[in-house]
Amino acid sequence: MKQFMFLIAALFLFVNCNNTTNSEKKEQKSVTETHIGNAIEKTIEKFPETDRNLLKRGVNHVASLWRAEDGSPEDFIEFCANNFSGNNKKRELVFNKLSAYYESLFGHFNKISLDLQANVHLQTGELHSIDHMFAGYSAGAHMKNDFYANKIAFVTALNFPYYSTEEKNELGKEWTALEWGYARMGDVFSSRVPSELIQETARVSAESDAYIAEYNIYMGKLVNDKSKHLFPKDMVLLSHWNLRDEIKANYANKTNGLEKQEMIYQVMQRIIDQSIPEKVINSGDYEWNPYNNQVNQEDAAPEPDARYQQILNNFNAFKAIDAYQPVLNTAIKRSFSGNMQIPQEEVEAIFHEFLSSTHLKDAGKIIEKRLGRDLKPWDIWYDGFKARSSISEEKLDAITQKKYPNAQAMEDDLANMLLTLGFTKEKANFLASKIVVDPARGSGHAWGASMKSENAHLRTRIPESGMNYKGYNIAVHEFGHNVEQTISLHDVPNYMINGVPNTAFTEALAFIFQQRDLLLLNMKDNNPDKEYLKTLDIFWSLFEIMGVSMVDMKMWKWMYENPNCTASELKNAVLTISKEVWNQYFAPVYGLKDQTILAVYSHMINAPMYLPNYAFGHLIHFQLEEHFKTNPFAAEVGRMFALGQLTPNEWMMEAVGTPLSNEPIINAAQEAIKHLNQ
């Protein structure tokens, strides 16, 4: 998962709004349509051959941001005439200078965030409240306001005005890389959000991140109704990631794997409905029976809905920004139409189409046959289509612990991993030189650099005994993020289009790397059905994550409909929503109703509305994998992720020649099901 703290501004604040609030309009009455016209006329007198459509867009964009405190109407007119770049050569000169300055600013602010959050994110020892205070501080919160005050924001907005997502989708088909850079420059100053609100989002997000990073379950302390321990004494798993991965690991356990899975499922249920005893969270001091919910054979006080209070805290912080974003005037719109560049309604329609596929029931029947039993709720994470599903967790742990006893060992091996994937020695060494591996306090994440002189960071959990397979599998996923982050920063045509269209695209490459984790351990899959199994693995993973994403989206809609709700009311709503989504899409496949398991994801707490990116990531993942069947993997990865931050469909068309769609994976799944049923 990519880092969220530094990106919070890009996700919710710096996107897609070139209008003002009613209160701001009152302040701006002195800048009228007449003044805008005068500014355009005076600038044309100075630059008679200039692009008049561009000038009009730029002047109107500045007018939408101009407040009384910025100067009089006459000051506005003079500013436009004196700061507009009247020809292409001068505009490109200004663009290059601004790009260099912004790379330094964004890059150093990113580095500061990295440093201030290090103790919260990494295994650096005991945490103190001062660590959380620094982690919640945003050094760049005041930058935008400062740049309005010194007029840098207005110079940027005048010469590089904002284009909506719809305009980018249409006009971008003909844009050069430089013109895309101009358009992305226009995204930097598209609204005026008070710095104190930006700071508050950073603080709340840091608190949620810390809450999740220490939500550990001491598995060695779990007991069943016979007071029996099922898990190793020293096993500690983070919710939800490690709990989910332990469920996956036990499909290969023929002794008591099913019993272990059922116990983990009970733990997850307790977390979701907040009946989990508060004292067992991140503590190994007590024995807990998750079935009768007793601690040391006695009743214990539950967690006081803290999970849902964290969600509400994020909601309230983001909702406070709505007044400053009248076009994308909800966090939902900013997340989807703004950041993802796909309207939420379209996202939900795509998910509904997939989740309604009749082939899901056919895939479920294949899984039941392979398991020799009926489907259980936790089989949303069925892992048996992967080659590793037939290999015991203990064997895989032994391999990874020996190979990677510490973070440095993995860092030293990154170049070799890239060589195995087909990268040239020169490219492998360069990419590896720009990635640092750190031992994570939480599940792990990938933190990209925002300037070329800095490195990307790969974080994964590494116990004292060495990196276990779960940590390794996550690390390979994060490594995929790091490779994307490095290519899309260093190899793009210009800095302003660094990155990818949205985070689903970096998730796609992370999934692609993760699926090759055994290959990177020199363990080859010789199964003649491996391509069919790979298709069904992605197909089933999409089923799960689209369902989870539906719950997340519907939860945010519910909060906007009930903005004054309590944490307890939100909890009850989420339980209801998760059951409704399950009953609509999953019950026909599983034959079970009223399950809440889709609400377990920790992203709902510390990564608002990020989950749909995973679903799109799987769709993109499949289409890229199809492309790699007839094209060289490493070379194409380098080409695709150097395209930069285009719109999603434009990126897909240039990368593989087809738009983003459910159709390829559904058709391939139908073929795979037919083959495996022969």
Beta carbons within 8 Å of 561's beta carbon, 6+ residues apart: none
User: Can you tell me the distance from the alpha carbon of 243 to that of 215, in angstroms, rounded to the nearest whole number?
Assistant: 11
Question: What's the rounded Cα separation, in Å, for the pair 277 and 293?
Answer: 7
Mapping DSSP to helix (H, G, I), strand (E, B) and coil, where does residue 165 land? helix
294 exposed, middle or buried (CB, 10 Å; 0-12, 13-18, 19+)?
A: middle
Q: How far is CA 379 from CA 375, 425, 540, 586, 666, in A?
A: 6, 41, 10, 11, 20
Share of the chain above pLDDT 90, in %: 80
Closest CA to 366 of 16, 13, 673: 673
Two tokens at 659? 């738009």
pLDDT beyond 50 at 19? no
Least confident of 58-62, 337-341, 374-378: 337-341
313 and 347, same domain (yes or no):
yes
Identify whether residues 237 and 323 lie together within a single domain: no
In this structure, of 182-191, 479-488, 629-638, the range with the lowest mean pLDDT score is 182-191
* Domain assignment present for 204: no
- Any alpha helices (H) in 117-240, and if so which ranges? 118-121, 129-135, 143-149, 152-159, 165-171, 177-185, 195-213
514 and 529 both lie in a single domain: no
Q: Is residue 370 part of a domain?
A: no
Please indicate, yes or no, if residue 656 is contained in any of the structural domains.
yes
pLDDT at site 20: 37
Q: Encoding tokens for residue 62?
A: 């500045």
Separation between Cα atoms, residue 667 and residue 361, nearest integer Å: 15
Which uninterrupted H or E stretch holds 460? strand 456-460
Q: Which helix (H) or strand (E) holds 458?
A: strand 456-460
Amino acid identity of 70? D
Residue 534, CB-side half-sphere exposure with 13 Å CA sphere? 18
Same domain, 435 and 354: no
Q: What is the mean predicted confidence (pLDDT) over 537-566?
A: 97
Domain count across the chain: 4
Residue 387, domain member (yes or no): no
Question: 368 lies in a domain?
Answer: no
Residue 373 lies in a domain: no
Q: Are 453 and 384 in contact (CB under 8 A)?
A: no
Do 543 and 611 share a structural domain?
Answer: yes
Last residue of a domain, one of 235, 270, 304: 304
Are 468 and 541 members of one domain?
no
pLDDT at residue 3 greater than cutoff 80: no
Q: Are residues 484 and 546 in the same domain?
A: no
289: which strand partners? 294
668 or 144: whose pLDDT is higher? Answer: 668
Q: Kind and range of the H or E element at 40?
A: helix 33-46
- Per residue, what are the HEC states of 211-225? HHHCCEEEHHHECCC
pTM (2 decimals)? 0.81
Domain containing 442: what range? 392-521
Going 184 to 185 to 191 to 195, the CA torsion angle's sign is: positive
Q: What is the pLDDT of residue 525?
A: 79
Examine the domain organization and report whether 561 and 641 are in the same domain: yes
Task: Find out whether 637 and 486 touch, Cβ atoms under 8 Å.
Answer: no
Instruction: Give 8's pLDDT tier (boundaries 50, 70, 90).
Output: very low
Tokens representing 59 are 């002047």
Q: Is the pLDDT reported for residue 603 higher than 90? A: yes
Please say whether the beta carbons of 110 and 450 come within 8 A.
yes
Q: Residues 432, 415: contact at Cβ < 8 Å?
A: yes
Whether 382 maps to a domain, the answer reads: no
Tell me which residue of 196, 159, 586, 168 sits closest to 364, measured CA to CA: 586
Residues 335 and 228 both lie in one domain: no
- Mean of the per-residue pLDDT values of the chain: 92
In a domain, 478, yes or no: yes
User: Is the CB of residue 502 less than 8 Å from the CB of residue 532?
Assistant: no
pLDDT of residue 86: 92
Instruction: Decide the pairing of beta strands 216-218 and 236-238.
Output: antiparallel
Q: CA distances (Å), 453 to each of 140, 449, 450, 456, 484, in order?
A: 19, 8, 9, 10, 16
Q: Are residues 156 and 282 in the same domain?
A: no
Cβ(166)–Cβ(91) under 8 Å?
Answer: no
Segment 384-394, tens digit of pLDDT: 998 776 788 88
pLDDT in the model for residue 405: 95
> Looking at 287, 304, 321, which one is the last position of a domain?
304
Q: Are residues 313 and 300 in the same domain?
A: no
Banded pLDDT at 1 (limits 50, 70, 90): very low
Higher pLDDT among residues 123 and 457, named by residue: 457
Please report the pLDDT score of residue 601 as a whole number: 97
Whether 220 and 232 have beta carbons less than 8 Å apart is answered as yes
- pLDDT above 70 for 21: no
Contacts with 390 (C-beta within 8 Å, 6 or more apart), sequence order: 252
| Domain final residue pick, 192, 227, 248 | 192
Q: Are residues 151 and 244 in the same domain?
A: no
Other CB atoms within 10 Å distance of the CB of residue 398: 14
In the block, residue with structure tokens 């029931």: 361
Convert the pLDDT of each residue in 647-674 to its tens digit: 999 999 999 999 999 999 999 999 999 9
